[in-house]
């Protein structure tokens, strides 16, 4: 584990050195701006690159800084500023260390846009004002991409940062008649239909997202698909507790990721990690209310799913439906391996620790038992403490009938009821591992060692 951590920190350092080198002269070129700002949130694990001072009273004159107002953006919260942002992007893309600047004290409304590369290295998209989506589906142009709003595509060494807000205006999307979710009274009601993800990075590498407030997405807030080398630091993501499918950060087929010092409160998973992800470190995250941090869902439609080397540490989860969860569909193949959950504080959380290999969205025919499953192996839970919601036991290991969960390690796990009586009946099914210390509540159902009969695991291995 120490070797993996060391390599990961070295990779983070290399990215930051390159990005800071590309941007180190930008702030100096704008020293004359009276209202210039620097990043005010230093972090022990991340040194933020310098930002361009954002002074609404003066337009930046440097040839590498492209203020969207210079391209016709009104910034009044009503006018469509999409064209100005596209023009500013094209200009910044063509120069090294180019900066697209949305200055403070302005509200820019733009429609669905794909910001494409390749671009010259060191490109910065800096939001110091408010960047806002159209208000609901009726105000969304027909030609817009229905499932995404802002897309960053085929980019390398790019930064999305600033001191401002990216506002998704998702309220009207959440009640469209498509997917059920819970009302404030707990009853099932309709949910989002064809709702757009707010920010998507696709087929890109060496990315930094820092400092921003991202809120009220119609669906997922930030997605990374097919990316490599992602650093997220000091970002705030928010949507109401009952907003459906509003995952905070979603990773799919993405590797070498660091998520640090970030606050997430939403209506679905704080962080969801899908198939094809590896080498992910989550440190210093505050999560909740939410559905917790999830690995999965994996193996849908009998697919192969491969996830490895995930670490979650120094994290707080509060007022959430789940804590740290692994969820897989029956019938899948592949493996989830090398997961480390360490120093996690729970506050009034249902299902604090859960492996669910019978995940299904309905109780119909699609949930029948199948003869294969994703292999869950080498998962450790260390120093997991706090309180749980007594409506469900705090530990739940429901492993596949066919492929047992193996090499689960429990150490210093102490979970007490938030209110009410201690539930001393954690659930285990076909789960094997070791308790290095006594667990609270007692976990007598975890089987020691390995299964007596191990099936041929080669079909579940990932390359």
Residues involved in catalysis:
291
State phi, psi for 14 to the nearest 5 degrees.
-65, -40
For residue 3, what are the contacts with CB-CB under 8 A and spacing of at least 6? none
Work out whether the CA dihedral 8, 12, 15, 18 comes out positive or negative.
negative
Closest CA to 285 of 234, 350, 224, 211: 234
For residue 283, what are the contacts with CB-CB under 8 A and spacing of at least 6? 45, 258, 259, 260, 261, 311, 312, 313, 314, 315
Other Cβ atoms less than 10 A from the Cβ of 150: the count is: 24
> Judging by beta carbons within 10 Å of its beta carbon (0-12, 13-18, 19+), is residue 355 exposed, middle or buried?
buried
Largest CA distance in the chain: 73
Other Cβ atoms less than 10 A from the Cβ of 78: the count is: 9
For residue 364, what are the contacts with CB-CB under 8 A and spacing of at least 6? none
Beta bridge partners of 318: 347
End-to-end CA distance of the chain: 20
Other Cβ atoms less than 10 A from the Cβ of 57: the count is: 9
What one-character-per-residue DSSP string does 173-205 give?
TTTSTTS-EE-TTS-EE---SSPPEEEEEES-E
Cβ–Cβ < 8 Å for 255, 205: no
């Amino acid at each position: 584990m120490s070797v993996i951590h060391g390599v990961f920190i070295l990779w983070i350092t290399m990215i930051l050195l390159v990005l800071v080198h590309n941007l180190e002269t930008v702030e100096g070129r704008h020293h004359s701006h009276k209202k210039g700002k620097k990043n005010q949130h230093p972090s022990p694990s991340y040194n933020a690159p310098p930002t361009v001072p954002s002074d609404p009273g003066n337009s930046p004159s440097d040839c590498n800084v492209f203020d969207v107002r210079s391209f016709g953006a009104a910034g009044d919260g009503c006018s469509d500023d999409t064209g100005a942002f596209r023009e500013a992007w094209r200009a910044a893309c063509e120069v090294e260390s180019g900066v697209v600047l949305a200055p403070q004290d302005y509200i820019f409304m733009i429609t669905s846009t794909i910001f494409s590369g390749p671009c010259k290295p060191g490109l910065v998209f800096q939001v110091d004002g408010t960047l806002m989506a159209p208000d609901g589906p009726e105000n969304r142009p027909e030609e817009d991409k229905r499932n995404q709003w802002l897309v960053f595509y085929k980019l390398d060494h790019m930064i999305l940062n600033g001191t401002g807000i990216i506002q998704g205006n998702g309220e009207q999307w959440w009640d469209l008649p498509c997917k059920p979710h819970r009302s404030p009274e707990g009853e099932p009601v309709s949910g989002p239909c064809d709702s757009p993800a707010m920010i998507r990075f696709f087929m890109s590498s060496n990315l930094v997202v820092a400092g921003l407030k991202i809120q009220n997405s119609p669906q997922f807030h930030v997605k990374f698909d097919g990316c490599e080398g992602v650093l997220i630091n000091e970002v705030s993501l928010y949507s109401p507790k009952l907003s459906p499918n509003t995952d905070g950060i979603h990773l799919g087929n993405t590797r070498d990721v660091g998520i640090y010092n970030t606050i997430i409160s939403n209506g679905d998973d704080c962080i969801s990690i899908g198939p094809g992800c590896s080498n992910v470190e989550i440190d210093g995250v505050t999560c909740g209310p939410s559905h917790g941090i999830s690995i999965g869902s994996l193996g849908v439609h009998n697919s192969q799913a491969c996830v490895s080397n995930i670490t979650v540490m120094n994290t707080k989860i509060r007022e959430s439906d789940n804590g740290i969860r692994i969820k897989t569909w029956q019938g899948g193949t592949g493996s989830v391996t090398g997961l480390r959950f360490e120093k996690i504080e729970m506050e009034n959380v249902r299902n604090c620790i859960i492996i669910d290999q019978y995940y299904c969205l309905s109780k119909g025919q699609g949930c029948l038992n199948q003869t294969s499953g994703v292999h869950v192996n080498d998962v450790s839970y260390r120093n997991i403490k706090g309180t749980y919601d007594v409506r469900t036991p705090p530990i739940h290991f429901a492993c596949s009938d066919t492929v047992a969960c193996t090499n689960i390690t429990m150490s210093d796990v102490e979970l007490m009821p938030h209110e009410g009586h201690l539930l001393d009946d954690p659930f285990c099914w076909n789960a094997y591992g070791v308790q290095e210390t006594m667990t609270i509540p007692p976990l007598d159902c975890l089987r020691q060692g390995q299964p007596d009969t191990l099936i041929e695991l080669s079909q579940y291995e990932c390359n």
